[in-house]
Each structure stands twice: as structure tokens, then as C-alpha cells.
Amino acid sequence: MLVELMREPVALGIILFVFGLITGSFLNVCIHRIPRGTSLVSPASQCACGQKIPWRLNIPVLSWLLLGGKAACCGRSIPSRYLAVELLTGALFVFAGFHFQSQEPYFLFLSVNLVFISILLCSTFIDLEHMIIPDRLSVGGAFVGLILAFAFPALSGWWDDALLARMASLTSAILGLLVGSGTLYWVGIMAETVLRREAIGQGDVKLLGCVGAFCGWKGALFSIFGGALVGTSLLLPIVLLRSRSQTASAENNNSDRGETIGWGVEVPFGPFLALAALLYQLGLDRYVDQYFEQLGNLLRLAWNNAGFTGSFW
């Protein structure tokens, strides 16, 4: 019945949006509890004041809007992050639902990617709030990616359930994990040598391993450089503006209480990595893969021109 209904575009959109809102509501619990190391299932949803939240005040988006962003028990304001995560998850689930329609088998691609989107969203918002990416998400996510690759070789284009196809699928996931985390690790080491301070955290390296296990090595490499590009283009104007206003306030002789902003500012890299991974997985993969293919052709040509025969790639 549900499968029949999901062939109807409007129904598909509504089902995925509602499912996304519910998942987003659960992700909010994860974002709050995973960094604190508490259980995800018990106790039931609680307000910051300790009161239990009844189910009718815990409906995604609606409750927040009806309550005007204030807790019913004590009037504390509920962070708008709760609303944002729910809506974002809903929107991404709908987008993924339509994007993967061209992929066969549809439900496999869709559900695997909904899991991937959830891991990325959770990591992003925890990193924004706490400047960490918990191992439960990054390392746990990498394990999930490897297991899925072995269980469903169709994910990497193998229309076969034989052990050989499974091993090939697993190998490409492992390759993605190693290339992703290995490259980011070395980018971090080199940046550290030049900048003389930690540039890339362990959490980012582990998250990239997870991205590689789901997207393959091309997606992992794109996430690093795409993430750096998006991060720089978004942050550069902010940093420049801030350092300008800092100079201005220094000229006004009240710079003593100024915080350290400007080039020394610490920004989590995880959200940008996650954003680039999402962009790759939800549509840029075609172009990125094509680019890597052309690069491979050029290298092959150079290899042959250098007098070597046979294929290296």
C-alpha cells in the first residue's frame, strides 16, 4: 500500500516530509544527548527544568509554533535549533526522495542515503554547538557504511549477490574511507607544520572516513576540497569585516576589552565537510566523477607519452 502510494509524487513528498520531521525530532534528541553521553531512549523527552514533555507538546514543528518557542511547563525558550533541524531534515528527505528516483533499486538507495543524511546532520549540529564530532557518529557511521556496502553490492553498481561482488563493493567503501581520512589527516599535518597550531581535528578526520565509506573516494576527496572552498568563501567576508571593525574600534581607543577575533578565530570544519558531502551525494556526483574521469584520462595519456605501455590506472 505504502509502496503504491509512494509512486504518486505529491504523496511521496508528503510522506517523506513527515518522516523527515519525525526523524529530525529524534536527531534533536541525539544532538542534545550524544555529547553528554546519556541514553538516547530513556528517560523520555524532558524540559531543561526536569519536567516530562507530554507527547501532544512534542509534535515536530507544530508544538514549537503553537507554544511560540516557549516551554509549556516553565516558559523557558526552546532553541530555534529544534525547529531548524526538523525542517531541514524534512526538506532533505523530500529532496533525496525525488533525486534517487532515477536509481535502481530505489528503496535501497533512498534508505541508505536517508541514514547518511541523518548522520551528517547530527554531526553538523553537534560540531556547531560543542566543537566535537562524537565517535558514535563518525566511527559508528563508517562501520555502518562498510556493512551496507558488503550487504548491498548494488550500492556500488554490482548486480550480483555473490561473495565476489560483495568483496568488491566492500573494497571500494574501504578505499573511500582510507583515501578520505588519510588525505584529510595529511592536509592537517601539513597545515599544522605551516600554521604552528592544530588546523584539523581528529573528529573531522574520522567523519571523512565515514563520508568515504558512503560516497567512495571521489566523494571523500570532493568533500575535503569542496568543504574548504565553501568554508573559505563563507567565512572570509565575515573574518575581514570583523577585523575591520576591530581596527576601527582600536582607533577609538577602546580595544582593551576586544575578544580575539579575526584570523585566530576557531571555526568547526565538520559542518563544511558535511555540506560538501551532501552536495556530492545529492547531485554534484555526476560532475565530480566526470572531472575525475577526465583527470584520469589525462594522466593515462601522459603515462603513455612518457613511453610506458600498459595501464597503470
Binding site for Zn ion (CB under 5 A): 47, 49, 51, 71, 73-74
Give Cβ neighbours of residue 272 (< 8 Å, ≥ 6 apart): 227, 228, 230, 231, 234
- Nearer Cβ to Zn ion (18/47): 47
Q: Minimum distance from CB of 57 to Zn ion (Å)?
A: 10
Q: How many C-beta atoms lie closer than 10 Å to residue 134's C-beta? A: 19
- Nearer Cβ to Zn ion (49/84): 49
Q: Minimum distance from CB of 50 to Zn ion (Å)?
A: 7
Residue sitting closest to Zn ion (CB): 47
Q: Minimum distance from CB of 48 to Zn ion (Å)?
A: 6
- Nearer Cβ to Zn ion (33/244): 33
- Nearer Cβ to Zn ion (45/243): 45
In terms of Cβ atoms closer than 10 Å to its own Cβ (0-12, 13-18, 19+), residue 220 is buried
CA distance 178 to 230: 23
Taking alpha carbons only, the member of 261, 222, 264, 268 closest to residue 242 is: 261
- Nearer Cβ to Zn ion (49/261): 49
Q: Minimum distance from CB of 70 to Zn ion (Å)?
A: 9
Q: Minimum distance from CB of 73 to Zn ion (Å)?
A: 4
- Nearer Cβ to Zn ion (67/128): 67
Q: Minimum distance from CB of 126 to Zn ion (Å)?
A: 23
Q: Minimum distance from CB of 51 to Zn ion (Å)?
A: 5
- Nearer Cβ to Zn ion (80/245): 80
Q: How far is CA 194 from CA 148, 199, 267, in A?
A: 39, 10, 18
Looking at residue 310, what DSSP letter applies?
Answer: S
- Give exposure, 67-99, as e/b (b: 16+ Cβ within 10 Å): eeeebbbeeeebeeebbebbbbbbebbbbbbeb
- Nearer Cβ to Zn ion (57/228): 57
First to last CA, the chain: 47
Q: Minimum distance from CB of 49 to Zn ion (Å)?
A: 3
Q: What angle do CA 43, 47, 48 make, to 5 degrees?
A: 105
CA distance 26 to 105: 27
Q: How many C-beta atoms lie closer than 10 Å to residue 117's C-beta? A: 24
Taking alpha carbons only, the member of 202, 211, 28 closest to residue 116 is: 211
